[in-house]
Amino acid sequence: MATQSPFSSLETFLQDFKLPFTPPAWAIEESQRRIVLLVNHVLLQEPQAVSRLARQDGRRVRVQWGGLVFPVTITPAGLLDLTPDQADADLTLTLTETSPWPLARTLLQGDKPAVRVEGDVQLAGDVNWLIDHLRWDLEADVARLVGDVPAHLLAQNCRNFAQALRSFVGRRASAAEAGATHEGGA
């Protein structure tokens, strides 16, 4: 007999979750500006990433997930700048998973979410290289604020928590698959 997870109702709610309102345009734009600043900060820590993007000067990339659109232009310096949404994109990346719960599960397991790619192949290759090789050294940034030892301890605790969360999500996914297989075979 298969047992039902106590999280199944929460999972169902999160799969069907829709914001009850649309955030104001200024809040969306300000959030996008903050994300661009963070991505540029990470890009500046990796000279090879900046040089790859500099070759794509003026190209536009649009990332879409549901109704959320994140349009950016690559600058001559190899960084990103927010672009008006109406501008034509050279590359469009659309996350195909519409529900936040499975998307979060995929990311927590360390996998890439499913993406539909439309547009320039070389630009898509450079963006894929960035996704595969670019990592934020958060520990170094925190160390500038609090020192090396506290930053290292905090980072170690965060890594342990992330590993435990990945393990939990992986066990939940395995249990859900086993339950579906057991019910389907009975």
User: d(Cα 143, Cα 138) in Å, to the nearest integer?
Assistant: 8
- Checking if the pLDDT of 3 tops 80, the result is no
Measured at the CA of 160, the angle between CA 154 and CA 166, to 5 degrees, comes to 135
pLDDT band at 19 (very low <50, low <70, confident <90, very high): low
Please write the tens of the pLDDT for every residue from 123-152: 999 998 988 888 777 777 777 888 888 877
Predicted confidence at residue 21, as pLDDT, reads 66
Greater confidence, 142 or 10? 142
Please give the helix or strand (H or E) that residue 54 lies within, else none.
helix 47-54
- C-alpha span between 180 and 174 (Å, rounded): 10
Query: Is the pLDDT higher at 51 or at 135?
Result: 51
10, 37, 82, 112 from 76: Cα distances, Å: 46, 16, 14, 28
**φ/ψ (deg, to 5) at 145:** -90, -45
* Cα separation, 50 vs 40, whole angstroms: 9
Question: Quick one: CA dihedral 150, 151, 152, 154, positive or negative?
Answer: positive
Fold assignment, 23-135: Nonspecific Lipid-transfer Protein; Chain A (3.30.1050)
Task: Please enumerate in sequence order all residues whose Cβ is within 8 A of that of 3, keeping only pairs 6 or more positions apart, or say none.
Answer: 179
- Domain layout of the chain by residue ranges: 23-135, 137-186
Q: Which residue has the higher pLDDT, 83 or 155?
A: 83
Confidence of residue 98 (pLDDT cuts 50, 70, 90): confident
